[in-house]
Structure 1
Amino acid sequence: MKNKITIATRESLLALWQAKYVQRRLEEQYPGLTVELLPVTTKGDQILDRPLVEIGGKGLFIKELEVILLEGKADIAVHSLKDMTAECPKGLAIAAVTSREDPRDAFVSHKYKTLEELPLHAKVGTSSLRRQAQLLHKRPDLEIQSLRGNVQTRLRHLDEGNFDAIILAAAGLKRLGLADRISSYISTEESIPAAGQGVMAIEARTDDAETLELLSFLHDKEVASCIQAERAFLA
């Protein structure tokens, strides 16, 4: 058995939380295994002043991690599944998906409890075209503005008064211990979540049979069936 696994991860607090979760689970399952993190700043993390759709889409968050995997500098990469493209690059595959955290979107505001309470022409921040479309379907009067950055950066923009409300994934807030910042949850009937939202995906090389076997205990088959159906819409 391998005696060391290197995990490639983005450097945001949420990404590190997710990587450390996988690190801890591996070390608990295999006491003799050393698991190290390799933090990486991706292009998606560096370019924050332009909407994602203008700079290559959400795949920018994982491209550098996948290059590192293919070059053999890391054994696995941990992603938020919703950030992944519909298909993995040749030579890579999703080796395991974890149990699912809350898949809903969260409404976050200092002044208002729900989307319905927002005044006319309220300013709402989100980086997601999916969220923008569904928000405007329900409230066409809203002023939707692009909001990029990690969870803490987005919350800071709200705290500084730049928005009346922002929309975030509930899963990320809960994992970071920030559930108290959630004013209310947006039902999946009102806002269909991104494919795989709330699920962590562990990506590995397809020819690394030993690592694939080591990860098998983390794989949630029921969740995998659900996300296979969800991601089929993206293919």
Structure 2
Amino acid sequence: MRVTKKIKAEQLRRLSEVYKNDGTMLHFSSPFTLLVAVLLSAQCTDKRVNIITQRIFPRLDTPAKMAELSQEQLEMEIHDCGLYKAKAKNLLGMCHMLMENYHGEVPEDFDELVKLPGVGRKTANVVRSVAFGYPAIAVDTHVFRVSNRLKLSVGKTPNEVEEGLKKAIPMKDWSSAHHWLIWHGRRVCHARRPDCETCFLQNVCPSCTVNVEPWKPGEKTESEK
């Protein structure tokens, strides 16, 4: 299947209809608590992160409060999270930098965000999008996998996929589409066994394993007939 601009637009239309009400799973109450939650989510499920943050945020919801802990103390607070030693080190470094350079506030600027320990493009894009409302596309493992399978954006690195998605998706939809792709990866387009049999993108997906007739522009979907 040759994935044209019209097919990409149809993929996005269907994704938006199904996942239009789904946002981030992470629980947060401020840009700082979102930043902490996203840092904790590396190689850890959002469900597990929410368990940890529900436990620690009543006491450690600002950089000043978290910075009072030692490395060992913070490790104990997040010990049930993967890579907790490295994450504790980055969190403490981040808190101290926020206190020293940003008056305890999380910066909105992308270049300033990526200066913080442990913060890369994905994390910075999530924080800018979810906490501050900037249009951004964060490429995590789900977004990377689904984008390549749909050929919505093809790339060997998250950066390549991000640039392709920015071209394929209208800027006004960048932040929302990030969530659409994540939820589709979680619910349908799984890493090992994608559920092609029930997928609503069957006839617009070049990677679909189900033998279906390709969608033609103007053709109604089953739900629209």
> Which TM bucket (shorter chain)?
under 0.3
Bigger RCO (CA 8 Å, 6+ sep)? 1
Bigger strand fraction? 1
Instruction: Please say which structure displays the higher CA radius of gyration.
Output: 2
Structure with more of its chain in helix, by fraction: 2
